[in-house]
Amino acid sequence: MSAVRTRIAPSPTGQDLHIGNAYTALINYVFARAHNGQFIIRVEDTDRTRLVTGAEDRILASLRWLGIPYAEGPDIGGPFAPYRQSERLDIYKKHAEELVAKNHAYYCFCTPQRLDQMRKDLEAKHLPPMYDGLCKKIDSKKSKKRVAAGEKYVIRMNVPDEGTTIFHDVIRGDISFANILIDDQVILKSDGFPTYHLGVVVDDHIMKITHIIRGEEWISSTPKHILLYKFFGWDVPLIAHVSVLRNPDRTKLSKRKNPVWVSEYKAKGFLPDAIKNYLATMAWSYPGGQDIFSVDEMISKFRLEDIQTTAPIFDTEKLRWMNGEYIRHMKSEKLKNIIYEFYNKKYPEKQIETVLPLLVERMKTLAEFETLAGFFFVRPPKHAVRSELRTALESSEWNHDAMEKTIRDVAGANAKEIFMELRVAVTGKTVGPPLLESLEILGKEETLTRIPSSAGR
RNA sequence: GCCCCCAUCGUCUAGCGGUUUAGGACGACGCCUUCUCAAGGCGUAGAUCUCCGGUUCGAAUCCGGAUGGGGGUACCA
């Protein structure tokens, strides 16, 4: 058996890598690794109307940030380059023409207006809004002439009316569709770009993809792909459809209802390993019920057939818990570096290190570092503390000595309460690291960096 | 409308015909610990396994139907 090759084929039509794509990428990557195969990226940028500039770079960057490496891709090349469909137009055109020659496809000259009207009529009659095959009846010599004359055309696949198309889904079993219900799908658009259907089939074959693992939203177009493979006379790769991630209201995960871009999770301070771990549990459970596991552990136990068929709800609460779990179990040196970078070096490393022991157990995301540590770094707004403190704070250098003196002078035995008052002034909360330990920590540093608090708190 | 997929605690799931009074995790709640909050430990509540038929000595587990949810139905992917 040939080496396992999997892929994800994102389209640069969004802001960034969709978390759902990250999920299928993870599964494809893990599966490939589990079989000593390769996982590759192919960018499907065939819809120029929805193309978002910079999206491809961001998708690739997010994949790298997540730690899902690919063996071949648009930026790193590979034996089947280019890996960007917009750069392979001649290949699709050649294949589409090949199908026309074999009478498995035909030229269509219908205008969008006619198509629109036709579909409306069909729907009014409660019939499936499929192409009526008008151009299929045109004599092939005649249509060739029209094409040569420069008339605008599209190439549609010629789906037989009889029979059924069956395919075997590795995780769902056999799925069949009556051919009569399969539309004469456009495979080459009038702008010379292929549609998804032609693009994937041709490229998956050329790039020797052995396993197609993608979201379940593709199930209904799979018979078209199967037909295309047959038309070309190619072997069909193994196919598996994983469930789509959902919003809490059970609809397909969407940006209107949930953060969907990987960059959003990064900005909120989620760790790549935690995200991957959580994503993994969305459809697969570790033998023995272990919740926390690494990608390597997953690779050693993963089996495609064990993937869950039910579409899971993406539960941010559990992700947060898991993220906290990863933060707590991380080496403090590493955590420090991550926080240092996360805040763009805003806080000195040494000081993060000093303060961190008091916070690790309280942080669920990196972004919570600032909320929790604010007390150490942010000067409280003067108007928020009682008047006795104000003057003292005014002159204070805000180091441990000054602070302790201030507290002792003003509050005496009530040091703790005063301390609490300062914390509330800064964070707006009474909760946080223990006060006495905080005081000690403050004492360790000559002077912590003070960032003026925003006015008006 | 039509086609397809799916169905176990609120959520993620274990379960693959008897070992199940259906197990674990998140979340919730309570107690312990404690300078608050966490973390940690211990515990509680929470699922007539969507429903109805069938197969079987026996079904959450197999089959059929219903219902519900989701996806698709484009010169978008």
Choose, from A94, A102, A230, A255, the residue flagged as catalytic.
A255
Q: Tell me the pLDDT of chain A averaged across its residues.
A: 89
Tens digits of per-residue pLDDT, A39-97?
Answer: 999 999 999 999 999 999 999 999 999 999 999 999 999 999 999 999 999 999 999 99
Which positions in strand B are less than 7 Å from the protein's CB atoms? 1-8, 10-14, 16, 23-27, 34-40, 69-77
Among chain A residues 4-63, those with CB within 7 Å of any atom of strand B: 9-11, 13, 44, 46-47, 49-50
In a domain, A292, yes or no: no
In a domain, A363, yes or no: yes
In a domain, A430, yes or no: yes
**pLDDT at residue A396, rounded to an integer:** 44
Q: Is the C-beta atom of A68 closer than 7 angstroms to strand B?
A: no
Q: Is the pLDDT of residue A449 over 70?
A: no
Which of A177, A196, A215 terminates a domain? The answer is: A196
For residue A339 the two structure tokens come to: 């926080």
In a domain, A255, yes or no: no
Which of A196, A213, A242 terminates a domain? The answer is: A196
Q: What is the ipTM metric for this complex?
A: 0.95
Q: Is the C-beta atom of A282 closer than 7 angstroms to strand B?
A: yes
Print the domain residue range for A146: 90-196
Entry pTM:
0.91
**pLDDT at residue A398, rounded to an integer:** 47
Longest dimension (CA), chain A: 101
**pLDDT at residue A310, rounded to an integer:** 94
Mean pLDDT (whole number) for A283-309: 94
- Which nucleotide lies closest to A109 by the C1' atom and the CA atom? B75
Mean pLDDT (whole number) for A368-391: 67
Tens digits of per-residue pLDDT, A109-122?
Answer: 999 999 999 999 98
**pLDDT at residue A354, rounded to an integer:** 86
**pLDDT at residue A407, rounded to an integer:** 55
Rg (CA), chain A: 30
**pLDDT at residue A273, rounded to an integer:** 98
**pLDDT at residue A397, rounded to an integer:** 46
Q: Is the pLDDT of residue A387 over 70?
A: no
CB contact at 8 A, A120 and A156: no
Residue A313: φ, ψ to 5°:
-90, 130
Number of structural domains in chain A = 2
Residue A433: φ, ψ to 5°:
-60, 155
The enclosing domain of A125 has a CATH number of: 3.90.800.10
In a domain, A28, yes or no: no
- Which nucleotide lies closest to A438 by the C1' atom and the CA atom? B35
In a domain, A167, yes or no: yes
In a domain, A378, yes or no: yes
Confidence of residue A2 (pLDDT cuts 50, 70, 90): confident
In a domain, A270, yes or no: no
Question: Of the candidates A3, A26, A37, A18, which has an alpha carbon nearest to the alpha carbon of residue A279?
Answer: A26
Question: What are A297-301's contacts with CB under 8 Å, separation 24+?
Answer: A298/A30, A299/A30, A299/A33, A299/A34, A300/A34
- Which nucleotide lies closest to A436 by the C1' atom and the CA atom? B35
- Which nucleotide lies closest to A10 by the C1' atom and the CA atom? B77
Percent of chain A with pLDDT over 90: 73
Which of A196, A221, A236 terminates a domain? The answer is: A196
Catalytic annotation on A255? yes
Tens digits of per-residue pLDDT, A323-342?
Answer: 999 999 999 999 999 999 99
Percent of chain A with pLDDT over 70: 85
Q: Return the nearest residue to B71, CA–C1'.
A: A217
